[in-house]
Amino acid sequence: MTLDHPSRTAEERLVPLDQSMLSEGLADVRWRLHREVLSGARWIVVDLTRVTRLASPALASFLWAHRVCRARGGGVELRGADRRVRAVLHRTGLDHVLQVRAAPGRWAA
C-alpha cells in the first residue's frame, strides 16, 4: 500500500525501535507513539531495521496510532521490516492496513 503525498515528508515523525525496547516491555514504545500522536502527527514512520520479532502488544500499539493518524488523513508506515516481521504482518493481515516497506535489500527471502 502506498499513500505518498508531496507534503508528507514535512508531516512525518520517525520512531526508531530496537529489539531491546520491545523485550523490556512496551511502555517506552507506547510512550513514543503516544507522544507523536499528541504532537499532531499525521504520518508516523516506525523504523524496524533493528527489530527481529514483533508480539501482538506491539502490533496493537501500531494499530492504535494508525487509527488516530488515519482520522487525520495520514497513517503509520513500518519501515525496514525483515522477512520474519513481514511474515507476522502478513499472517495478521496488517500488511493490508499499515504501510510496510523493507529496508533496501531486505525483500529477498
Cell of 8: 508528507
What class, spelled out in words, does domain 10-101 have in CATH? alpha beta
pLDDT digits 0-9 by tens, 53-66: 998 899 999 999 99
| 76-95 per-residue burial string, b: 16 or more CB within 10 A, e: under 16 | bbbbbbbeebbebbeeeebb
Share of the chain above pLDDT 70, in %: 84
pLDDT at 97: 95
CA 92 and chain centroid, separation: 14
Question: What are 78's three cell numbers?
Answer: 513500518
Q: How far apart are CA 109 and CA 89, in angstroms?
A: 15
pTM: 0.84
Comparison of pLDDT for 3 and 42, the residue scoring more: 42
Each residue of 75-107: pLDDT tens digit? 999 999 999 999 999 999 999 999 998 866 654
